[in-house]
DNA sequence: GTGGTCTAGACCACG
DNA sequence: GTGGTCTAGACCACT
């Protein structure tokens, strides 16, 4: 389920967070679903347990998952909403990137095309 | 001319690089133009000369500016082209951000609007 | 492994770069190998960490090494190729130096001898 | 006669020194010949007089030219010999460059060819 | 005046 | 432990 790219310059714990959020938004993980344990993820991905823990801690403080004693970490009820709200904050980043591309000779039609495609795969 | 936000999590030297590239792409800086000196920028922005130097060194190795001994740094001839080429490589980043926003409830029309605006300011 | 000559007019960071490249070309350092840490090199060579860092940053931007967060710097896969390509660009420098020596009374046979020796140590 | 490349990263005064030495070695300038004045070179090349002066001072202290009051700078008698001796000291530089190229996939025959050509143009 | 190099030491993020 | 960024201040070469 989870995969990490050790070559990426993006921190491993961030990759885990983003993947988990993507799974929830896509419906692959739903409210109450059990998330793989720190230990199993650590072994499967060959990643330091501290790194997994760090990702889970972040998801936990943001109310996306919660630890159920004796069971493990499960997805919270309003997880999808919280994630959507957070993603909307990336609009500024999107806009500055957009201006960069617009000024670099990429045709407007191409970008419009990308936007349409991004929504087609979500209907 | 140059401005930096010392509170941003983006490194100061990166802010300087991006601003310089934006000035060149917008035509505010043209081939042969002299760039403000390391020392003057250091004082104006209250930033250590080394940090300015680091930004200039990066622009220099990428062929965007060129240091003229005893004179200062000047904009290279093909600077705008090099910058455009580099920016186009950020398309992947743009696409993943786009998919994130598309999946977070932002209406398609809103994003299309942003794209159109980005190009209007470049006519 | 690494050595520097603090008296040379060649900058220390350049000496480090060239040595690292030589190690890779000679096969002493291979793809995936971990390079000595900034701090350890700094102590061993009695050189400021910043100077080591500067050398590594250059190698990194040129795709010869790659920093793995929390681990260290490792040699990239196509490092040897990149280095060879860069070295070939020094042919012009070689030719002008050659003409200088040819015009200064050094016998042709002596230079031919040097060329042969340079290749003997590479078989 | 003299030319400089303001784009080169090689200092202007060094370019002047090397050109003057090349003119002497090639026989274009002989013992007793008058060298262009600081003022005329400064204007012709659009170079700061201080820079020309610096080059002449170096040639003068090394016994290659000497200033004749009321006349200008003239080439010394043993100039060619002094220059040849200095150039021979660049052998180390030549050898390290040679090893670099030998290790970068340039065939031995190609380098031998270059050596032969360098001597053919000097017979 | 200009840029380039270097030292000394600090702080942060990552694993 | 690792690398990355930054400050403070020095010295040198070039024009």
Position B73 scores a pLDDT of: 94
Cβ atoms of residues B25 and B63 within 8 Å? no
CB atoms under 10 Å from CB of B78, counted, come to: 12
| Contacting partners of chain B (3+ CB pairs under 8 A) | A, C, D
Position D96 scores a pLDDT of: 87
Residues of chain A with pLDDT under 50: none
**From CA B49, how far away is CA B57, in angstroms rounded?**
12
CB contact set of C115 (below 8 Å; sequence gap of 6+): D98, D102, D108, D111, D112, D115
Residues of chain B with pLDDT under 50: none
Position B7 scores a pLDDT of: 86
pLDDT tens figures, D80-109: 888 888 888 888 889 888 988 988 889 999
State whether A11 and C69 contact (CB < 8 Å).
Answer: yes
Position C23 scores a pLDDT of: 92
Q: D–B contact (≥3 CB pairs within 8 Å)?
A: yes
Calculate the angstrom distance between C1' of F13 and CA of B69: 9
Position B122 scores a pLDDT of: 53
CB contacts < 8 Å between C and D, how many? Answer: 93
For the cut 70, the answer to whether the pLDDT of residue D123 exceeds it is no
CA D41 to the chain's CA centroid: 16
> What average pLDDT score do residues C8-20 get?
90
State whether D7 and B69 contact (CB < 8 Å).
Answer: no
The DSSP 8-state label assigned to residue B123 in this structure reads -
Calculate the angstrom distance between C1' of F8 and CA of C50: 14
- Residue given tokens 């370019």 in the structure block: D15
Q: Which tokens belong to B24?
A: 């060149």
Sheet with B65-68: strands ordered across:
B34-35, B72-75, B65-68
C89 has a chain B CB within 8 A of its CB: no
Calculate the angstrom distance between C1' of F5 and CA of C62: 20
Position C49 scores a pLDDT of: 93
C9 CB and strand E closer than 7 A: no
Among chain D residues, the shortest Cα distance to C95 is held by D114
Position C122 scores a pLDDT of: 54
Nearest chain A CA: its distance from B29 CA (Å): 15
Among chain B residues, the shortest Cα distance to A82 is held by B104
Instruction: Give the residue with minimal CA–C1' separation from E14.
Output: C70
Calculate the angstrom distance between C1' of F12 and CA of D62: 23
Position C20 scores a pLDDT of: 93
First to last CA, chain C: 22
For the cut 70, the answer to whether the pLDDT of residue C43 exceeds it is yes
First to last CA, chain B: 23
D112 has a chain C CB within 8 A of its CB: yes
Q: pTM of the full predicted structure?
A: 0.85
C35 CB and strand F closer than 7 A: yes
Q: Which residues of D touch B69 (CB under 8 A)?
A: 9, 11-12
Residues 51-80 of A with CB under 8 A from B: none
Instruction: DSSP for B35-82, please give it.
Output: EPPHHHHHHHHT--HHHHHHHHHHHHHTTSEEEETTTEEEE-TTHHHH
> What average pLDDT score do residues C43-52 get?
92
| Contacting partners of chain A (3+ CB pairs under 8 A) | B, C
Q: What is the mean pLDDT of chain C?
A: 89
State whether C98 and D114 contact (CB < 8 Å).
Answer: yes
Calculate the angstrom distance between C1' of F5 and CA of B13: 9
Q: Which among A84, A114, A115 has CB closest to B105? A: A84
Position C60 scores a pLDDT of: 93
**Which residue, D116, D40, D32, is CA-closest to D77?**
D32
> What average pLDDT score do residues C89-118 get?
87
Instruction: Give the residue with minimal CA–C1' separation from F8.
Output: B48
Position D85 scores a pLDDT of: 87
pLDDT tens figures, D14-73: 999 998 998 888 888 888 889 998 888 888 888 888 889 999 989 988 889 998 888 889
């Amino acid at each position: 389920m989870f995969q990490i790219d050790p070559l990426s310059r993006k921190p491993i714990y961030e990759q885990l967070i983003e993947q988990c959020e993507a799974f929830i938004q896509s419906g692959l993980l739903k409210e109450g679903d059990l998330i793989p344990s720190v230990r199993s993820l650590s072994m499967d991905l060959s990643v330091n347990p501290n790194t997994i823990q760090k990702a889970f801690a972040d998801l936990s403080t943001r109310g996306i998952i919660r630890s159920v004693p004796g069971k493990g970490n499960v997805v919270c009820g309003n997880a999808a909403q919280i994630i959507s709200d957070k993603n909307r904050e990336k609009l500024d980043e999107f806009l500055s990137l957009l201006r960069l591309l617009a000024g670099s000779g990429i045709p407007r039609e191409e970008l419009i095309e990308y936007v349409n495609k991004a929504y087609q795969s979500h209907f």
